[in-house]
């Protein structure tokens, strides 16, 4: 049985900032940004991720192995795995705190 697939076009959208705009906002080149859309107003808020230095020397080996395993299974960088875990922890902290 022959199967045929149609090749479809995919369009990406992006916002381009000038070097002056990047400097004015205090951003760095290739800095990760988060975007939030307000459904009611249609406003888009763009915020830079905050840089953090983590000292992993004292982390247990089990935790480091877990991060590597998650990274391999999800095909993501360890940095992204750590970022996601921190974001989820902060969301849960905010719920608990309220």
**Would you place residue 98 in the very low, low, confident or very high pLDDT band (cuts 50, 70, 90)?**
low
pLDDT: is 91 or 94 the higher one? 91
Read off the pLDDT of each residue in 85-90 and give the average, rounded to a whole number. 89
Alpha helical stretches, state H, the chain = 19-25, 61-74, 78-97
Average pLDDT of every residue of the chain:
89
pLDDT of residue 60: 95
State whether the Cα torsion 14-33-44-21 is positive or negative. Answer: negative
């Amino acid at each position: 049985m022959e199967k045929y697939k149609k090749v479809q076009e995919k369009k990406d959208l992006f916002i381009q900032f000038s070097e002056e705009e990047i400097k004015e906002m205090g951003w760095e080149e290739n800095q990760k940004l988060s975007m939030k859309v307000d459904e009611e107003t249609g406003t888009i808020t763009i915020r830079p991720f905050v840089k953090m230095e983590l000292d992993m020397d004292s982390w247990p080996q089990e935790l480091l192995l877990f991060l590597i395993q998650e990274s391999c299974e999800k095909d993501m960088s360890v940095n992204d795995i750590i970022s996601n875990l921190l974001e989820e922890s902060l969301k849960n902290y905010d719920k608990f705190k309220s």
